């Protein structure tokens, strides 16, 4: 399980917000907390956090497809320009 408090957050409030968001994504997407998909969600969240993203909506839109990638599928909305990635 990811520990947002030790992952570069600026304080306990930020870590708590990331944890709550992680829990929300896992619940809505039916992702077990101890799974490859959950690890991918947490990894993507930390990338966004370190890039300065603080908007909850951005996190929800960007981290959700991680479940599909963990299963080897590409989500329909996973496109940068016109080249699927």
Q: What is the pLDDT of residues 25-74, one digit of tens each?
A: 999 889 998 999 899 898 889 888 888 888 998 888 877 754 455 555 54
Q: Please tell me whether residue 79 adopts helix, strand or coil conformation.
A: strand
* pTM reported for the whole predicted model: 0.67
Tell me if 28 sits within 8 A of 34, measured CB to CB.
no
DSSP 31: -
**Comparing C-alpha atoms, which of 58, 60, 64, 49 is closest to residue 13?**
49
Listed by start position, the domains of the chain span 4-74
Query: Quick check: 57 and 39 in contact, CB under 8 A?
Result: no
């Amino acid at each position: 399980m990811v520990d947002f408090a030790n992952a570069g957050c600026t304080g306990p409030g930020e870590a708590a917000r990331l944890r709550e968001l992680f829990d929300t994504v896992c619940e809505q997407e039916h992702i077990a907390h101890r799974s490859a998909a959950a690890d991918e969600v947490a990894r993507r969240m930390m990338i966004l956090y370190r890039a300065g993203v603080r908007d909850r909506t951005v996190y929800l839109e960007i981290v959700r497809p991680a479940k599909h990638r963990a299963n080897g599928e590409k989500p329909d909305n996973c496109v940068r320009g016109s080249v699927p990635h």
